[in-house]
Structure 1
């Protein structure tokens, strides 16, 4: 089963279609609750990210690898808000593997509302060794199960984004790190980075009128007490091809998450 799609890669990559029906696609449902939505009742990006994390844990448990492969970190998450899912709907979530290597994999999640709405995502997950805190080999039997939904078995890490500088930024502002942002790994949880996205989108309601793709790549963790700043750059349509030729015809916003001179993460936002 191929992940190639129409061949687009990088930020403009084509996400693998859901292989449905397929016995190795994990399929579950739960309600969309009040903490998941914004003032207009739309499923938020940070809430969608929590759902993506939660279904990953549920699938790991269902497959029987929760004890042997308990620690994973996400290096990149790409989310397409294709059509809003609204409050009080029932979410159907499907998760499957779209690419593997010995120590990491890409996992697709599709979130659909029973009454309409669609969110697509793909995340690059790295298996972590508990003792060394470095990448660890995924067991052969686990890999075999993951590969049942993809023929991409030589997955490599290639960054799509590079942090922006303060010198030519459209804005720079502080983003306080709260105790409630810190997770079991003693780092700022992945979903909090997506809260920054929601803050930005609140200033750009025009972006929410069309399908939207947001990608975040993580370089280094953010810890409690860090003086986190968000550096914003705006690239109007036709002003650059630095994100690939496919995106030269649309505006792209980048948000660089920095602590001092260290880039912690970079996000890119653009209409599909």
Structure 2
């Protein structure tokens, strides 16, 4: 991922404490909690830049988080956010999450600006883009999917994930952070994965709504069979989680050691 351009006046820099609801039984900052913080700092930066009223609605298409070293309970979080790529209607935003004592997470998310009336992609204003481009030279950002959904036919497991009222956000869809709680469920059964740096990426295709019969299809690809994920991953195992409602893919997650 793009390194933090520090010091830089256009890197948004905040701190807040790591709280009980953010951590697992071992005191580690959870992926779903980290995702909430990544969303929250985005809202705070939007307000700080003065575009909260003109660009209030955004949806995330992909979030990638590298857990380099876990941040643990009672630490103070430092979050820095900046733009790593832009186009007319979307941007990629980097967030670096650090503990004051120890711990590091790196993240990058692909955000789409949404029109309030049409609920479709909307052009970002010129003055907003000008501010975003102060930290990046990438001005022709394009969307490219990295992940392919898995099939039920050769799945390691298929299980239901109940969608609750509390999971639904302002768009009337399941909030982005809830997808990461599925990742946490999986990691609870694979504690050895947390002993080394870990990358998790989730790509969203379609929203999940209240009342949907959501299922998670899991595939395990051992080292040596993972060339379809890229040559650099052929030497390590990859797990994918495909979020489906009926035959419709809603999202795909990939989990692998760095």
Which TM-score band applies after superposition, normalised by the shorter structure?
Answer: over 0.9
* Deviation of 1:187 (Å): 0.6
Match of 1:159 in 2: 145
Q: TM-score, normalised by structure 2?
A: 1.00
Matched with 2:65 is 79
Aligned positions, number: 258
* SS at 2:228 equivalent: coil
Where 2:120 maps in the other structure, the secondary structure is: coil
CA displacement at 1:240 relative to structure 2: 2.9
Q: Among 248, 251, 254, which residue is 2:237 paired with?
A: 251
How far apart, CA to CA, are the structure 2 residues paired with 1:151 and 1:117?
Answer: 29
CA RMSD of aligned residues (A): 0.4
Q: Using structure 1 for the length normalisation, give the TM-score.
A: 0.94
- For residues 101-143 of structure 1, give each alpha carbon's deviation from its aligned partner in whole angstroms, at most 9, with x where no partner exists: 0000000000000011000000000000111111000000000
Give 1:185 deviation, angstroms. 1.1
Q: Compute the displacement of 1:162 (Å).
A: 1.0
Alpha-carbon separation, structure 2, partners of 1:173 and 1:148: 45
Query: Paired residue for 1:199?
Result: 185
Given the alignment of the two structures, is residue 189 of structure 1 paired with residue 175 of structure 2, yes or no?
yes
Match of 1:48 among 13, 34, 43: 34
Runs of 4+ in 1 over 3 A off after TM superposition: none
CA–CA distance in structure 2, aligned partners of residues 240 and 46 of structure 1: 26
Checking the alignment, whether the CA contact within 8 Å between 2:226 and 2:237 is kept in structure 1 is no
Aligned pair partner of 2:198 in 196, 203, 212: 212
- 2:111 aligned residue (125, 137, 158): 125
After superposition, give the CA deviation of every residue in 1:194-224 in whole Å (9 maximum; x if it has no partner).
0000000000011000000000000000000
Q: Which residue of 1 aligns with 2:92?
A: 106
Q: How far apart in 1 are the matches of 2:116 and 2:164?
A: 26
**Structure 2: tracts of 5 or more residues without a match:** none
Segments of 5+ residues of structure 1 without an aligned counterpart are 1-14
Deviation string, structure 1 residues 221-270 (Cα, Å, up to 9, x no partner): 00000000000000000013110001111000000000000000000000
1:6-45 aligned at under 5 Å gives the runs: 15-45=1-31
| Deviation of 1:184 (Å) | 1.3
